[in-house]
Structure 1
Amino acid sequence: MSDRLDDPDRLTSLVRTGLGAAADPMFDRFASIVQRTLGVPVALVSLVDDARQVFPGAYGLAEPWQQQRQTPLSHSFCRHVVTSGEPLVITDARVDPRVAGNLAITDLGVVGYAGMPLTDGNGRTLGSLCAIDASPRQWTAAELALLADLAAACSESLRLRIASRAALSREEIARGEQKAANLAFSRSQLLLRASVALADANTLADVIGTVRTLVTGTLDPDYVGVSLLDTDRQVNLQSGGSLPDRVADRWRRYPQTARTPSALAAHTGRPILLPDPAAVAEQVPDAAATFTEMGWQSGASVPLPGPRGPIGALTFVWKERYPLDAAEQAVLAALAGYVGQALQRADYLFSREQVATLLQQAMLSDLPDATPFELAARYSPAARGEHVGGDWYDAVRFEDGHLALVVGDVTGHDMLAAARMGQLRSMLRAFIVDRLEPPSALLRRLDAAMQVLGDPTPTTALLAYVQPDETGYRLQWANAGHPSPVLLEADGTVSPLVGRDMLLGVRRRLPRTNYSRTLPPGSTVLFYTDGLIETRTDTLDDRKRQLHGVLTGLAGAPLPDLLDEVLSRLVGDSHEDDVAMLALRNPA
């Protein structure tokens, strides 16, 4: 409902909240949740009286506003939410006639704005829960729905504060009212915890475990079930791990037309409420035997929303009769919304991981037969979900028996970096096969191609040839800003193969130099990317000394064991950057 800013009843309700221009931990948490879940720089819990607006909850305000926690109404968008009683959604405040000229645009940097009403128990609008962007913002329906859910929980907390403060002055408050206030608080806290916890759930198992934990102590069901629809419109039980095997196997996968709580909720898109055994027998007869077997007396199933309709159902069952009141039904519906979003995000992340893994596997070529040399390689992605990056290694064997060896690193740690790496790797491979030129000339060609094609992404690369000479074998290389390879001789002597030029993608037509070294019999050359030696805590010189120390004792180790030992001792199972390594051993 709309309200005048000077409405006496509304102003009285504001006073009864006990909130003003001072930070309140609970409402700061609401602002933090809005900021994190919607990805905006600023979020506010704003209460508006007839002269000013105050921010008991705030995240991201610039000073002095964050310290003062208030502005005059000349800087208030939220006043429009109060006077209309409706959400206010603005893409670009600078051109929106409703707020153009408001001083918050220039003084506070408010451009994109979405505000949802905060109301007291009588429906009076006290202020707004708002998300603010410093740039134009097209708010999605999912974002606005999430903000509305959080505003409803925030309103519950405001009402609880009003009720609690009134209770302090009226000891005769009825126990029933106190119980209702406590229940409202528990429900609002459940939704708050759900919005935070499910935002961090990245896998299906995470989501199921999080939901179980959330409802323990609040709704206290005997079992929480998550079922999803597959492409054949079959219902797939995802939470069978907490059921006896015989029951889980029975409902592992079954037609959507079955009369079960999950299938019915997913098919109809509406909540299925089963307050007692009679309702179970009437509405979901296919599941009645399982209810009896498990001793369940009641249940409820709500659809999990997706972009094109329900994607499944969230189901709760109890061992006693449990008629859900309207507030509990609303909580379950909101919780199902959070779970649906979390499941879609988990599916998206899983799909990206699968694509990334296949992409990286396709780009890391198999090593050729290098006889009489030994060759081995390793690739270890950083501890990220996509397991893909811009590091690569390559080896090409020519008909006359000599080898071309490559190791490189494209700036970036994502699928875009991997795609660029694939392009550069393919171009360099073509140059190596087509042009019988020194390494420096081929790196110049690659640099020129990057500039001409308009993708001068900073890249380090090292190209080396291994060829016979009158004393054995000679290594000739050119280095474009890459870490120097290491020569490990048969007696354990370690020395870097120094000499390098500017990295690729910086300037056109840079001169590049060839370097060479005769390889002693039985020696090993280790090429690697910077993820092996760069950390946030150690200096490069210290890490290089560590690498040399590890190699000293591995001169006679088989190459695969040597690479595994270096990887284990220098970076372990979790590291900050991708690591690619390529090792060549000269025949003794």
Structure 2
Amino acid sequence: MTAPHLPKVAGINPPVPAPAHTSAPAVPTPASPAPGPAAAVLVQDRLAGLVSDLTTLQELTDRLARTGTLDDALRELLRAGASLVGAGRGLVTLRPAGGTGGHPMTVGLGLGRADLGHLETLPADRGPATGTGTGTGAEDDPAADDIAAVPASPYPGLLDDLPPEGDRTGTAHPDIPAEDGRDPRHRAVAERLGYAASYAVPLESAPGPGRTGGAAGRIGAAVWLYDEPAEPTERQRHLTGLYCGYATEHLARLLELTDARRTVAALHEELLAGRLPRVPGVRLAVRHRRGPRGGGAWYDALPLPEGALGLAIGGITGSGPAVVAATGRLRAALRAYAVMEGEDPVAVLSDLELLLRLTEPARAATALFAHCRPAERKVVVAGAGHCSPLIVGPGRAAYVETSLSAPLGMLACWEAPSVEIRPAPGETLLFYSDGLLHRAGDSMDRAFARLHRAAASVPRTARHDPGAVADHVLRTVLPVEDGEEPGTADGEDVIVLAAYFE
């Protein structure tokens, strides 16, 4: 049986149908082309770029996480941001801690104080900007008045056109000299300081559950300056935004910590003697360098009956607000015991030890109390685990040999004999806290020898001034570096109390 012939169409042969007893041939589907060498190289380059970006961010954030102070963190933020956006200079400004009044904190990179002063004079104009997050000028945007950069920012000319809070995109000015609408004063300052472009990024915490008010919202802004017309690429913007997001959280925590430390330091300062008493026959001076954690070092000087004077110095183990409160209680108790039993320093410290053991059983404390009669130049000293005082004069510089005793709260019953000292006219009795001896890598023997050399090297012209004696000892034992305050290896409080006998 043959298949019927289909009619022909003009010029076209009709297709022959397949036999009924056979299946129709499968229609071939176009296969996906195999990836060529160029596509594979592109994918590898993209993956390598992502790995490089992640590695860079990890290194930069690790360095930032190792900073323990707000100033160090701001400087690290500027250095890292400059490397990410390819700029050479910049500045970062933070609003005051807690959002209260006061001047914002500003740190510059490659900018001196005079340069920062020039930047503060920039007018707050809203000329058109170029790049992500700039928008239009105030004349075109009715909501431009609602756009705020950093509240109370001292640099409105650099930060006035940042996006509103909630938008963390950066603002670029790629060519300030050629930018239309820019205030001529801005061009003059840019020419004076030698920059031609800028890129500013807000420092704003991401919203999240459980965030405290001090760490939420915009806390500041950073701006980097280019010497030539330039702007960061999209990749640089993205990396800078990720880094600044992490940095903002770190800075917010440091701001809260700094504010808490400042409060503790102010409380500690109020608990110590605000004014040293004036007692005939003796002149007093004290130098107090607070540690960053709010330690338990304390001192006191109080007038006693019959023209006597009580001098005390000591410390409590630990740091923080609880230790500061315990220090205040201990000092108040010693004042009461000194008035009642001041002529017997051993009885004063014995009563203090009993009180400490009953009310602060988990703490130990060192203390040294001296009952002075300046008219007779007689001093009776008793110590509980505290360092021996130094006597400094024209003919000698020596430690007072006090008896070796345990700190308060360490034994069931504390008692140690007192020592009588007879300072000569023109000699200074020097009391100091343990923090003066602590420095990284030094043993206690070396620390005592270093302090003795410092006391012996007091200039002749300074020996009649107790303040000058205390300053010389501080500068020699804990030298100042880079304009910072003298400090110890672990950030303890440092106290030097000097009594000059006339």
TM-score norm. by structure 1 comes to 0.56
User: Which structure 2 residues correspond to residues 432-471 of structure 1 after superposition, within 5 A?
Assistant: 432-435=338-341, 438-467=344-373
Give the length in aligned residue pairs.
Answer: 408
- 3-state SS in 2 of match to 1:482: coil
* Counterpart among 477, 485, 499 of residue 584 in structure 1: 499
Shift in alpha-carbon separation, 1:475–1:244, aligned structure 2, 3 A: closer
Structure 2 residue aligned with 1:407? 313
Structure 1 residue aligned with 2:298? 392
- Structure 2 stretches lacking a partner, 5+ long: 1-34, 127-143, 150-157, 175-179, 207-214, 481-486
Q: Post-superposition shift, 1:401?
A: 0.6
Contact 2:125 2:160 in 1 (8 A): no
Shift in alpha-carbon separation, 1:202–1:555, aligned structure 2, 3 A: closer
User: Which structure 2 residues correspond to residues 177-256 of structure 1 after superposition, within 5 A?
Assistant: 177=43, 179-201=45-67, 206-207=72-73, 209-216=75-82, 218-220=84-86, 231=99, 248-250=120-122
Shift in alpha-carbon separation, 1:461–1:245, aligned structure 2, 3 A: closer
Contact 1:190 1:215 in 2 (8 A): no
Counterpart Cα distance in 1 of 2:382 and 2:332:
18
Q: Deviations over 1:42-86 (max 9, x none)?
A: xxxxxxxxxxxxxxxxxxxxxxxxxxxxxxxxxxxxxxxxxxxxx
Structure 2 residue aligned with 1:497? 401
User: Which structure 2 residues correspond to residues 114-193 of structure 1 after superposition, within 5 A?
Assistant: 176-177=42-43, 179-193=45-59
Q: Post-superposition shift, 1:504?
A: 0.5
- 3-state SS in 1 of match to 2:382: strand
Counterpart Cα distance in 2 of 1:209 and 1:505:
44
Shift in alpha-carbon separation, 1:363–1:286, aligned structure 2, 3 A: farther
User: Which structure 2 residues correspond to residues 289-308 of structure 1 after superposition, within 5 A?
Assistant: 304-305=204-205, 307-308=215-216
Contact 1:298 1:322 in 2 (8 A): no
Q: Post-superposition shift, 1:459?
A: 1.0
Q: Is residue 424 from structure 1 mapped to residue 330 from structure 2 by the alignment? A: yes
Contact 2:172 2:198 in 1 (8 A): yes
- 3-state SS in 1 of match to 2:330: helix
Structure 2 residue aligned with 1:368? 277
- 3-state SS in 2 of match to 1:461: strand
Structure 2 residue aligned with 1:482? 386
Q: Post-superposition shift, 1:563?
A: 2.2
Letter in 2 for 1:184: L
Deviation larger for 395-404 or 239-248: 239-248
* Counterpart among 565, 583, 586 of residue 472 in structure 2: 565
Letter in 1 for 2:479: G
Q: Post-superposition shift, 1:392?
A: 2.1
Shift in alpha-carbon separation, 1:355–1:331, aligned structure 2, 3 A: same
Contact 1:487 1:495 in 2 (8 A): yes
Counterpart Cα distance in 2 of 1:487 and 1:174:
80
Structure 2 residue aligned with 1:344? 252
Shift in alpha-carbon separation, 1:180–1:418, aligned structure 2, 3 A: same
Shift in alpha-carbon separation, 1:420–1:264, aligned structure 2, 3 A: same
User: Which structure 2 residues correspond to residues 549-564 of structure 1 after superposition, within 5 A?
Assistant: 549-552=453-456, 554=458, 557-558=463-464, 559-564=466-471
Counterpart Cα distance in 2 of 1:299 and 1:518:
68
Counterpart Cα distance in 2 of 1:586 and 1:317:
59
- 3-state SS in 1 of match to 2:488: coil
Q: Deviations over 1:504-549 (max 9, x none)?
A: 0123433343333444444432222333345554544454444445
Percentage identity across paired residues of the two chains: 22
Q: Deviations over 1:292-313 (max 9, x none)?
A: 9979899785662254334455
Counterpart Cα distance in 2 of 1:464 and 1:266:
63
Q: Post-superposition shift, 1:191?
A: 1.8
Q: Post-superposition shift, 1:334?
A: 2.2
Q: Is residue 334 from structure 1 mapped to residue 223 from structure 2 by the alignment? A: no
User: Which structure 2 residues correspond to residues 2-13 of structure 1 after superposition, within 5 A?
Assistant: none
Contact 2:85 2:232 in 1 (8 A): no
Counterpart Cα distance in 1 of 2:428 and 2:300:
17
Deviation larger for 430-439 or 257-266: 257-266
Contact 1:198 1:338 in 2 (8 A): no
Q: Post-superposition shift, 1:428?
A: 0.7
Structure with higher RCO (Cα < 8 A, 6+ apart) = 2
Letter in 2 for 1:579: V
Structure 2 residue aligned with 1:354? 262
- 3-state SS in 1 of match to 2:306: coil
Shift in alpha-carbon separation, 1:506–1:194, aligned structure 2, 3 A: same
Q: Post-superposition shift, 1:569?
A: 2.6
Letter in 2 for 1:354: R
Counterpart Cα distance in 1 of 2:271 and 2:378:
28
Contact 2:387 2:432 in 1 (8 A): yes
Counterpart Cα distance in 2 of 1:578 and 1:490:
29
Shift in alpha-carbon separation, 1:297–1:507, aligned structure 2, 3 A: closer
Counterpart Cα distance in 2 of 1:352 and 1:303:
21
More helix as a share of residues: 1
- Structure 1 stretches lacking a partner, 5+ long: 1-166, 278-284
Contact 1:266 1:313 in 2 (8 A): no
Q: For the aligned residues, what is the CA RMSD?
A: 4.6
- 3-state SS in 1 of match to 2:380: strand
Contact 2:372 2:379 in 1 (8 A): yes
Shift in alpha-carbon separation, 1:297–1:410, aligned structure 2, 3 A: closer
Contact 1:488 1:551 in 2 (8 A): yes
Contact 1:486 1:497 in 2 (8 A): no
Q: Post-superposition shift, 1:481?
A: 1.5
Shift in alpha-carbon separation, 1:175–1:286, aligned structure 2, 3 A: farther
